Amino acid sequence: ETGVTQTPRHLVMGMTNKKSLKCEQHLGHNAMYWYKQSAKKPLELMFVYSLEERVENNSVPSRFSPECPNSSHLFLHLHTLQPEDSALYLCASSQAPLTGYGTDTQYFGPGTRLTVL
C-alpha cells in the first residue's frame, strides 16, 4: 500500500449505530488530519494530530471521537450521528516541520462516504 488509505470507502449507518473510520498513512509523516466535506460546503477541518497528540479541534460535536494510536494510524469513532452528518470524510497526512515553519503539504486519502439514515 502506498500513500494514504481509508476504510471503509462507503458506510451506511443508522442514528443509533456505532462505527469507526480508519485511516493509515504509508508516507512516514508525523501529522494526520480529519476533514469533512458536505454537499455545497467547503472542506472543513475536524481534527489535527501531530506526533499522536491532538493539536487542533474545530468545535466538532462529541458524537465524533478521534483516536491516534501511532503516527501511521488515525481513527474517527462515530456514535449517535444525525442525518446532517452524512458527508465525505477525508483523512490527510503531512510531514510537519518540527520548527513549526514550512510548506507542510497535506496528502489526502480517497475518503469515506458516510450516509446516516
**Rounded to an integer, what is the distance from CA 7 to the centroid of its chain?**
11
43 near another protein (CB under 8 A):
yes
The Cα 58–Cα 16 span in angstroms is 24
Count CB-CB contacts under 10 A for residue 17.
14
| Interface pattern 72-101 for another protein (x via CB under 8 A) | ----------------x-x-x---x---xx
Using the minimum distance from each CB to another protein, give the nearer residue, 16 or 40: 40
Among 1, 28, 42, 59, binds another protein (CB under 8 A): 42
Using the minimum distance from each CB to another protein, give the nearer residue, 15 or 104: 104
The Cα 117–Cα 109 span in angstroms is 25
Q: How many residues lie near another protein (CB under 8 A)?
A: 29
The Cα 19–Cα 64 span in angstroms is 10
Using the minimum distance from each CB to another protein, give the nearer residue, 48 or 76: 48
